Amino acid sequence: MKKLPEHSPKASAWEDLLKKGTFQSQLDNHLPTLPQFAPQDAAWEKITTELDRKKVIPLWIRWSAAAAVIAILLFSLFSINRTEEKIQDAELLTENPVEIDNSAVEVVPSEVPTSKETFTSSAENAPGKFSPKKKTKRSIEIIEAPKMTLPELELSQSKNQSLIIPETKVPEAKIQETLHQVSISWSKIKPGLQIKTSFGRMESGLGQKPQASSNENSQITLEINN
Amino acid sequence: MEKERIDYNLIEAVIAQDRKAQFQLFELTKKMVYSLAFRILNDEDTAHDVLQDTFVKVFQEIKNLKHPEALVSWMKTITARKAVEKAKKQIVFEKLSSAEDQCEDHFEAWFDAELLDQAIRSLPPGSRAVFMLVEVEGYPHQEVGKMLGISESTSKSQLNYAKNLLKTRIKTLLQA
């Protein structure tokens, strides 16, 4: 028996072997060669059945699905429009009770001239301090309103200052007399329409009284005739 | 490998919905798809469902595949996602202590692929899914976290936990 010469490995052979023996390196070696499993023979038939089923269905399902989606969209749009209209109507009709804090609103009464000579009739209509009759239930934010002052009315020393408007009380029940007479007939003898006037006969009855005049002769007198 | 036998003509025919070509592609890749699904799920029936769903999706959407050379990895991605979808209900990630998720370097044993496969299938569902996706399929932890609904750090700790468990199981299997 012939003896072949022996060769010694590298000094790092053992270390290399140990490196290969680590868990991670063994994993890296064996993971690509893990045993493979085969599925059942019927697997292909199931796949083809599923493929054929999915082929046939879309022809009519897609159209019906599209139609259904469009119908749903249209219905939703229609219903949204209707609800919006209802909401708008409700907003217009319903009164939401809102409480108003009157302390926030301050109205400064305007300074109205108090001379009875000039504006006796308008004195009643002069704006007074604002006082709401009813305290509504509205609640709004308190806003500091600027003080509102009406501009002062200054009557210049003109001739109009002394204008007097006498108070004439006309009874409501009194029916005004008229100076005209109108008779209408449809007969053949008499004229169809007769108008009689009596101007100048009852001048006193006309009630031509000065309704506005100045108290001084030198001032302008305003006369208003009926 | 399957990659070498899946040429461009076959892919063209599959895109054209040629049933023979589809069957050919199925025959070439069915083991790869089923094995991946089975290892993630560890359940034959659910793995068959995943296989069916995967091939139906492949045949329907292969026309949208921009790079035909990436067909195999695309199919693996579909399989992994489908399997994770199916397994999400059973996957529960246990809270790990700091000692459990530390990977020990020390391991003095030699094992083969068969033994490793047995050990992988004995892992808990959560850590098994992470191990399969990261170590076997090469997904980054971030993507695995998104797929499984966990954080990146949870994915990392689950991987270390799976490796520690594998060492223990392999030792146990070797001693048996």
B38 interaction partners in chain A (CB closer than 8 Å) = 37
For position B99, what pLDDT does the model report?
58
For position A191, what pLDDT does the model report?
56
- Taking the CA atoms of B130, B133, B136 and B139 in sequence, report the sign of the dihedral they define: negative
Domains and CATH numbers, chain B: 2-87 (1.10.1740.10), 113-175 (1.10.10.10)
B59 interaction partners in chain A (CB closer than 8 Å) = 47, 51
Spatial CA neighbour of B167 closest among B107, B121, B122, B124: B107
Q: In this complex, do B59 and A50 lie within 8 Å of one another by their Cβ atoms?
A: no
Tokens of B117: 């496969």
pLDDT tens readout for residues B132-151: 999 999 999 999 999 999 99
pLDDT tens readout for residues B55-93: 999 999 999 888 888 899 999 999 999 999 998 877 878
User: Is B57 an interface residue toward A (CB < 8 Å)?
Assistant: no
For position B2, what pLDDT does the model report?
54
Neighbours of A44 (CB within 10 A): 18
What residue type is A165 in one-letter code? I
CB A51 within 8 A of CB B56: yes
Q: Is A146 exposed, middle or buried (0-12, 13-18, 19+ CB in 10 A)?
A: exposed
Q: Is the pLDDT of residue A24 over 70?
A: yes
Range A14-17 contact pairs with CB under 8 angstroms and sequence separation of 24 or more: none
User: Is B18 an interface residue toward A (CB < 8 Å)?
Assistant: no
Our CA-based measurement puts residue B95 at a distance from the nearest CA of chain A, in whole angstroms, of 24
Identify the closest residue of chain A to B55 by CA–CA distance: A47
For position A220, what pLDDT does the model report?
56
A39 interaction partners in chain B (CB closer than 8 Å) = 30-31, 34, 47-48, 51
In DSSP notation, B73-110 reads HHHHHHHHHHHHHHHTTT--PPPPPTTTTSPP------
Q: In this complex, do B48 and A39 lie within 8 Å of one another by their Cβ atoms?
A: yes
pLDDT tens readout for residues B116-128: 999 999 999 999 9
Tokens of A1: 């028996």
Highest mean pLDDT among A130-139, A174-183, B98-107, B156-165: B156-165
Identify the closest residue of chain B to A53 by CA–CA distance: B56
Neighbours of B143 (CB within 10 A): 15
Mean pLDDT (whole number) for A88-92: 66
User: Is B47 an interface residue toward A (CB < 8 Å)?
Assistant: yes
B112 interaction partners in chain A (CB closer than 8 Å) = 30
Quickly state the pLDDT bin for A180 (edges 50, 70, 90): confident
- Taking the CA atoms of B54, B58, B64 and B70 in sequence, report the sign of the dihedral they define: positive
Q: In this complex, do A38 and B19 lie within 8 Å of one another by their Cβ atoms?
A: no
For position A123, what pLDDT does the model report?
44
Q: Which parts of chain A fold into alpha helices (H)?
A: 13-20, 23-30, 43-93
B107 interaction partners in chain A (CB closer than 8 Å) = 21-23
Give dist(CA A211, CA A216) in Å, integer. 15
Q: Is the pLDDT of residue A25 over 60?
A: yes
For position B6, what pLDDT does the model report?
78
User: Is B108 an interface residue toward A (CB < 8 Å)?
Assistant: yes
pLDDT tens readout for residues B1-45: 455 577 888 899 999 999 999 999 999 999 999 999 999 999 999
Selected residues 122-151 of chain B with any CB under 8 Å from a CB in chain A: 135-136
Four-CA torsion B102, B105, B109, B115, nearest 10 degrees: 50
Instruction: Work out how many CB contacts closer than 8 A connect A with B.
Output: 77
Tokens of B20: 């023979």
